[in-house]
Homo-oligomer: A and B are copies of this chain.
Amino acid sequence: MRDDIDVLVHEVGPRDGLQSIQTIFPTEAKMEWIRREAAAGVPQIQVGSFVPPKNLPQMADSAEVVRQSLEISDLTVAALVPNLRGAENGMAAGAHQIGVVISVSEAHNMSNVKRSVDESLDGFSQIVEYRDAHDDYKDTVLSGGLATAFGCTIDGKVEISAVMRVAEEYLKRGADRLSVADTVGYANPKQVKDLFDELYRTVGTDIAVGAHFHDTRGLGLANAYAAVEAGVRELDSCLGGLGGCPYAPGASGNIVTEDLVFMLEGMGLRTGIDLDGLLEAREIMECHLEDEPTQGAFVSAGRPLGFEPASVAA
């Protein structure tokens, strides 16, 4: 990680947010958003997903979005892939980081991708082998995502031991980093602290570990704080909390980037991100939305009087 930031905020809106809404953003709209947010100092953006276009028409231009995003200086360009085919396309487009997600819950993984967890892990191994077989891709970072790590809408409770098993398998098979996700918004801060404490005991502290929280039950930022307290230094979030929630209109999906950055900067943790620039990016994003709700408190309330962000304004 760059030495001028303490916590890496990984914007996932152009993938996770856009994937969950009805509005389809043209490529240029995505790029306006991505460029403005990168200009505000956001160091890493998940710009797309390499899935069959018939499944997710929103993501059909991901290769083009990756290519244009690579022209932005100091931006780590990340993409999500469901399988080897997607990884091949993502690497060919030039993404710096390729993310794979496996649900720790067997039932959730089976329901999502019709594979057992071990079959999905074997799929991840194929991606690692493909990367390692191509010199052009030797710097491509492979991120192992653990979905439903804090609970599952089908299986309910997910044991920490199951999370540890998938984490260890990922690393054994060549993952460069891990990303632990509260996919369905079940986590509480104590659970977050306990899980990351156990994860660092299990895999050590040299491996980069990210966290991905949803605000479905209002605890998203409390969980983010608990993760930071446990030592996590990479957090996913979504500008304007775009993406909504399957449960209820108005309920939030991913934690809100600008609220997260406000919290971290107020706590003295440098994100390298300028809050005013982030709000401008939010306006640009909102221009392209059709009747989609956005979330966030900082956008309405603004800076406290005398607020001193940890980062020098970008």
- Listed in ascending order, the chain A residues whose CB lies under 8 Å from chain B are 151-157, 184-186, 188-191, 215-219, 221-222, 224-226, 229, 245, 247-248, 250-252, 256, 259, 262-263, 266-268, 296-298, 300-302, 304-307
Tell me the complex Cα distance, A182–B170, Å: 43
Write out the residue numbers on chain B whose beta carbons fall within 8 Å of the beta carbon of A247.
300-302
Tell me the complex Cα distance, A185–B307, Å: 12
Write out the residue numbers on chain B whose beta carbons fall within 8 Å of the beta carbon of A189.
225, 263, 267
Residues of A contacting B: mostly: loop
Complex: chain B residue closest to A306, CB-CB: B156
Stoichiometry, copies per complex = 2
Q: Could you give 26 example pairs across A and B, Cβ below 8 Å?
A: A151-B304, A151-B306, A154-B305, A155-B305, A155-B306, A156-B305, A185-B304, A188-B262, A188-B263, A188-B267, A189-B267, A190-B267, A191-B266, A191-B267, A215-B297, A217-B259, A218-B221, A218-B262, A218-B296, A218-B298, A219-B259, A219-B262, A221-B221, A225-B226, A229-B229, A247-B301
Shortest CB-to-CB span from A275 to chain B, Å, is: 11
Set B186, B229, B259: member contacting A218, Cβ < 8 A: B259
Q: A190-B267, A247-B302, A267-B188 are in contact. Are A297 and B156 (CB under 8 A)?
A: no
Tell me the complex Cα distance, A268–B193, Å: 13
